[in-house]
Structure 1
Amino acid sequence: MSVERAAAVAERFRELYGAEPEGVWAAPGRVNLIGEHTDYNDGFVMPFALPHTAVAAVSRRDDGVLRLHSADIDGEAGGVVELRVDDLAPETDRNWTAYPSGVVWALRQAGHQVTGADIHLASTVPAGAGLSSSAALEVVVALALNDLYELGQKGWQLARLCQRAENVYVGAPVGIMDQTASACCEAGHALFLDTRDLSQQQIPFDLAAEGMRLLVVDTQVKHSHSEGEYGKRRAGCEKGAALLGVDALRDVAYDELDAALERLGDDEEVRRLVRHVVTEDQRVERVVALLEAGETRAIGPVLTQGHASLRDDFRISCPELDLVVDTALAGGALGARMTGGGFGGSAIVLAEAADVETITKAVEEAFGAAGFIAPRVFEAVPAAGARRLS
């Protein structure tokens, strides 16, 4: 995070609101290495933070007014949106402002005396790319208000409040992974997170030191979690858990999966969802074990298995994501899979450093031949979680 960027955000705040901000904060987007659609099933996930961040310059107000501005909506020409904190109510806002105002609502619902704020936001997290741009926006606002109002909330507690904001206020049935990753990740590490109790383990993840790279390929296919397909998958998982008599699919042991599938009978859709979640939890544990054993290259096939499960069982891939994975593997990648909620967004590619240029060119050419929009390709390096900049 450059000093120049923080200073630029603070300067824009001064232009908008006529005063110095009380501080500037940042919260990152994330890439999920493995563990997709397991978080709302009380399972395991393994994200790491990206260098791409949402940055917020913020000051308190004591008059019940919330003023919001984003450098990313209608460019800098977008106006300041003024709301009253007493009027905030779930699912009344279908604009970008629902994310920061939802955080204010969630904090107040939890009993925290947040009496207003002036906020200017700017983000480099690509929107709709499956990299948690919305979670970064939520977490940066939550952290700023936590600091300014001296609320005393820890990172995982802020993540819970941000999840509630997105679930209830925005109306998107997301799990807890994205917000926790943004709030709690550490540079140079992937976060092994148990989403049931939010216990965490920071796993060293320095690919460059081992001659490897992890590429993110943004397909430029946009998605929205608040649309129906994501919710249908979650409802199907909850149905499966109910039919199996467990609190969540995390409670179905991997070695008992075949028996569980038999008990589900001929409900093929639920069977597929259950199979993905149970096997995905096991894939997360395998990746953790391999990394701890120093066998980093061996995680590649596990990532690829995860993509097949998301494509065939969870059915949330798309032609662009499949093309990335197939082309990268044909070009010598160690492993590849879609990442994020699905129906578009990004894929990740684990590759030897020497193969990155060849794989990138092959993917770009494959997209051109298929008539797809050119993808955006960049290297993902595990970065720091949310923090105060000034």
Structure 2
Amino acid sequence: MIIRILVLCLILVIIEFYAFQAFKTLIKTRFILVSYQVVSAIILAFIIYSFTQFDRSIGQTSQTMRTMGLALLIYLPKIILTLVLFGEDIFRIGTGTVNYFSNYNDSINFLASRRKFVSQIGLGIAAVPFLSLIYGVTIGKYNYRVIKQRIFFPDLPDAFDGFTITQISDVHSGSFDNPEKINYAIDLVNAQNSDMILFTGDIVNTDAKEMNPWIDTFKRIKKHEYGKYSVLGNHDYGEYVTWPSEAAKEENFQAIKNLYGQIDFNLMLNEHTFIEKGTDKIALIGVENWGTNFKKAGDINLASANLAKEDFKILMSHDPSHWDCEIQNHPKHFQLTLSGHTHGFQFGIEIPGVIKWSPIQYVYKHWAGLYENVGRYIYVNRGFGFHAYSGRVGIMPEITVIELKKGKNVA
């Protein structure tokens, strides 16, 4: 632990050193430079103090989210400055070494002076994440997008051709701070007029009480003709805080499960039901959370017991790693899986048809949008809410509308 702290302190010293060098190269006024150092020291002290006050018996609070936002806002740009100026130092050392051995002259400094334009470039690049993060915490986190996705299945029962499903995921109600924006999002959900709505888990961050102020808001999600169904996410188990007793943890878990019913969703716990339309039917399956790095409570075999390979199936499973490990090659052939969990890291770049990138892709192979493997599909919702960082940059909160179509997908 001590070694980790020392390493972190060393990294922070290096970052602060290089960031100051960039400002020092451009600004010569002593008062401004001293003021910069004082403000930086105060901010760093505040961030360290706030993180040391984290109470694992309570978990994430608005204060920890603000602190995380501030840390990202200050240190991500500084890290970029560090990389730019460190690169310049490598060039300076290389140039100095060559000059030293090829044309030694005592009157020439081994290291050339820092170039002003390099610091200007570094600050220009650093300004991009700085402004983006400000946007993320002020506008981005409630900039809801309705994403419509049409998926073709050759074995879709005829009556379900054109059937629509609205999916929401990762509400994280304990993070909300703007009732007007949440009501707007619920209006967007209702405006889709889908046949069915599915909620793929994480109604809270940790504690059931987080949802209490928002129950009436989410009860406004109108009744859908073919039902409102949900599953649990990893945060719904309350496993990221220290409880006074196992009984208290279990009581909270039962309260969280009850929340889904209080907002009129049918919570599915390793089970399935049939959705019938005319003389046709499809199987809707809901498993508890199953993730490679998180709780493995989901039981796909139990949930799909007595279902045949030929049945058309829609599976709700919160964590997309479940699809990677168990679902995509399962012998019962699950045609469509709906997941969430990743939030798209709440940070990335998405330009449809051009680029889709987020750091989360180095952790999750399937992290946002639609993916296919030999005719089996998974759709990963980018999340309705936000967690840890109280913002979204590039990866916006999502309400998904999926239309099922009969036929072969046109590549």
> TM-score if structure 2 supplies the norm length?
0.23
Structure with more of its chain in strand, by fraction: 1
- TM-score, normalising length from structure 1? 0.24
Larger RCO, structures 1/2 (Cα 8 Å, 6+ apart): 1
